[in-house]
Amino acid sequence: MELFDSHCHLDFPVFDTRRDEILARCRRQGLRGIVVPAVRRATWPRLCRVCEEHELLYPVLGLHPLFMAQHGESDVAALAQELERQRPLALGEIGLDFYHGRQDAAAQQALFEAQLELAEQFRLPVILHVRKAHDTVLGCLRRYKLQGGIVHAFAGSRQQAEHYLALGFKLGLGGAMTHARARRLRRLASELPLAALVLETDAPDMLPAWQHEGPNTPENIPRYCQLLADLRVLPCEQVAVQTSANLRQVLPLPLQA
Ligand SMILES: [Zn+2]
């Protein structure tokens, strides 16, 4: 049985003293890959270095919408250069985040579209970060010829889910569905086609209901798999096999020997 964490910030310094033990335990639990998306240019080099040093980790490069103040004018050009040089699995995490309002909506959208243009040019799938902006994001996605990707920590409506699926995207589920009060999300998790879903932790963030102290780690993936299986009344093994196949459908992960 293979499992993947499709979204995890294991490059963050909070893991520096324990990354090796975490990864050793992940390997014993059946994890075969952990996708590590970037947030800003200044941390790309360390992200790439950490991923090079650990074979389970796959780097993804991009400029995150929550860090607008830290992105510089030359960052998109620098991203193009890195994509050319490193050929990562995907571009991300990118998107729109209107959770704290729309003061910088225009700047976010310009950055997002500039990166969608790169995704089209380099034929790369994208990893999306979207809060309170699904319809705007869907509108942007339709303007480009894309390879699909993943909507990370999906918490939109059934209808928005279906629009993403039609565009070749999978939906990432993780910590949010572990909370019993997330009734709408749990209903979606049980009702959407299993072929639509991938598992993620977003570690160190998005703690699951059973963990009261951070950081979150990718060691939670087997429990997320079990929970999704319970919600759908399916064997855990089937959910592991299908969600892994789903991830492989959107990201060109190497097959293990
Ligand atoms: Zn993230």
Q: What is the CATH number of the domain that holds 199?
A: 3.20.20.140
Q: How far, in Å, from the CA of 149 to the mean position of ligand 1?
A: 14
Cα 31 to Cα 228: distance, rounded to the nearest angstrom = 17
Q: Is the pLDDT of residue 225 over 80?
A: yes
Ligand 1 centre distance from Cα of residue 241 (Å): 24
> What is the model's pLDDT at position 1?
81
Q: How many domains does the chain have?
A: 1
State the burial class of residue 120 (Cβ atoms within 10 Å of its Cβ: 0-12, 13-18, 19+).
middle
Q: Give me ligand 1 centre to Cα 112, in Å.
A: 15
Distance 93 CA to ligand 1 centre (A): 7
Which of the four pLDDT bands, split at 50, 70 and 90, describes residue 72? very high
Residue span of the structural domain in which 166 resides: 3-250
Would residue 255 count as lying in a domain?
Answer: no
Instruction: Express each pLDDT in 92-140 by its tens digit.
Output: 999 999 999 999 999 999 999 999 999 999 999 999 999 999 999 999 9
**Is 218 part of any domain?**
yes
Q: Which long-range contacts (CB under 8 A, 24 or more apart) does 10-13 make?
A: 10/34, 10/36, 10/50, 10/54, 10/57, 10/203, 10/218, 11/36, 11/43, 11/46, 11/47, 11/50, 11/51, 11/57, 12/204, 12/215
What is the whole-number distance in angstroms between the Cα of residue 232 and the centre of ligand 1? 26
Ligand 1 centroid distance, CA of 178 (Å): 18
Q: Is residue 1 within 8 Å of residue 240, measured between CB atoms? A: yes
Query: 23, 9, 31: which is closest to 225 by C-alpha?
Result: 31
Average pLDDT, the chain: 97
Check: pTM over 0.95? Answer yes or no.
yes
Does residue 137 belong to any structural domain of this protein?
yes
Residues that place a CB less than 5 A from ion ligand 1:
202
Q: Residue 257: inside a domain, yes or no?
A: no
CA of 125 to the centre of ligand 1 (A): 16
Distance 194 CA to ligand 1 centre (A): 22
CB 232 within 8 A of CB 194: yes
